[in-house]
Amino acid sequence: MPVKNAKTILTQSLQRLGYALLLPVSILPLAALLYRLGQPDVLDLAVLSLAGQALFSQMPLIYAVAIAFGLSRQGQGAQALAGAVNFLLLSSALTTLAPGLHADMICGLLAGLTTALVCSWARGLRLPAWLRPLQEDLPGMLLSALVCLLLVIPLALLWPLLEEGISLLASHLLTTPFGAFCYGVLNRLLVPLGLHQVLGSLVGLGESNLQALASAQPLHEGYVAGLYPVIMFGLPGACFAIWLHRKRMQRLPQGGLLLTLALTSALVGITEPIEFLFAFTAPWLFLAHALLTGLSLAICSGLGIKVGSYFSAGLLDLVLSYSTGEHSFWLIPLGILFFVAYALLFSQLLEHAPLSLPSKPLAEELPRLATVAPTDPQMLAIQYLKVLGGMDNLQAMSVCLTRLSLRVRNMGLVDQGRLTALGSLSWIVLNDHQLVLVLGPNAGLVEGQIRMLAERQSVPLGIEPSKAPLSQSR
């Protein structure tokens, strides 16, 4: 296999894993809220705290189910069930063979991955005629369970060394200013590839984070405090700089849109809509953002600020994690400094190399301002279909939070000039057949409506935009 193809396959596989990891991560806010609301200083309801703690303690099992389900081609429930069963088999067998290991999280990850890989391979097997009604699920479930049991022996031998290395990395290297800087830069640089979730999950496999999950405490408190100034203050400062720049350039300022993105980042910690606004169209801005993130983590590490994060490092997360942190108050003045730093630096960078947000000068846009994107989800999906060249031009589609990945037959039929009018924040054309739209909160809504329309018209839509349909690959 050529090296280029192997790297592409590896990147795409890791991206799918990153998207699958978003499913269990999305449960953490609910668990954190339940646990915090049940505390004596809030509602003093033990049942809520116990419910939140139960969710945290079962995160390895939830990871196994979510990965097995997320990596399945059509979202099969049987594969999710197999992931849960295989986690229980792997964890129980490992506890019997090598008691005392802190391996629940790695068991969850391995069970989910093994289930997805083996079930996908097993669907190509041919069974005897009398077993063919069970061909979809039975071989994969049985074979994945067998593989998980076989994994117990090497895992019992290797995991103590691997866990010691991960604990050393998380407890000693990442807690130094330089280690925190490297983690922060790498964490942001992996966002466009969807791999930052993979990085966070890997460094969270150590004993300290398993204990944090079991006690419902914030994770990675030794080195992630620096994300708060960037997510709550820095990225809103970047939005402010972009707004000022567009006004100076006499272009449509898009103040309402940028304010929405800034509030989304500051309040709930969802940064992708802002980051994808300039990740592809202005990589110099994204590099500056990654370096500033690393600097923030390094400063917090040097000052001894230790505030963990349950899920996103936004204001909601800070409220939940504040009481358990050290020197938590200093995140606010530090955040104000980062707001100013982002605003000034982005303003200077935009002066020398403007952000290529697709829109005409304001004087040319005014006649078109009456054309507002429809608020009805189905009408919005129909308008996107028209812009994309119609249903016949669409081959495959997948969604990840704020992004819609598409594969089209003919890129020339896509009217890119009308995407902004429909509310698309940004987009990138990857090749002659693939493009990615950054739609913000509407991404899942548009994807669901387009699929519903495709089913009504009996048009088959794939779920892997990176792969050509069989009719084209022959």
**Residues taking part in catalysis:** 400
Q: Where are the beta strands (DSSP E) in 23-96?
A: none
- Note the Cα 81 to chain centre separation in Å: 23
Alpha helix (H) ranges present in 133-282?
Answer: 138-168, 177-189, 196-203, 207-214, 227-228, 235-248, 255-268, 272-278
Matching residue, tokens 């590896």: 10
**394: exposed, middle or buried (Cβ count in 10 Å: 0-12, 13-18, 19+):** buried
| CB atoms near residue 23 (< 10 Å) | 15
User: Tell me, what amino acid is at 409?
Assistant: R
HSE-up of 260 (CA within 13 Å, CB side)? 11
Contacts of 78 (CB under 8 A, 6+ apart): 136, 137, 141
**333: exposed, middle or buried (Cβ count in 10 Å: 0-12, 13-18, 19+):** exposed
**361: exposed, middle or buried (Cβ count in 10 Å: 0-12, 13-18, 19+):** exposed
Tokens at 144, concatenated: 């994945």
Matching residue, tokens 């640089």: 189
Tokens at 6, concatenated: 């192997």
d(C-alpha 9, C-alpha 31), whole Å? 35
Is residue 13 a contact partner of residue 67, using CB atoms and an 8 Å limit?
A: no
| CB atoms near residue 366 (< 10 Å) | 11
The Cα-based distances of 59 to 103, 297, 323, 403 in angstroms read: 12, 26, 23, 26
Helix or strand (DSSP H, E) at 383: helix 377-387
Is residue 147 a contact partner of residue 139, using CB atoms and an 8 Å limit?
A: no
Matching residue, tokens 């609301």: 37
Rg (CA), the chain: 24
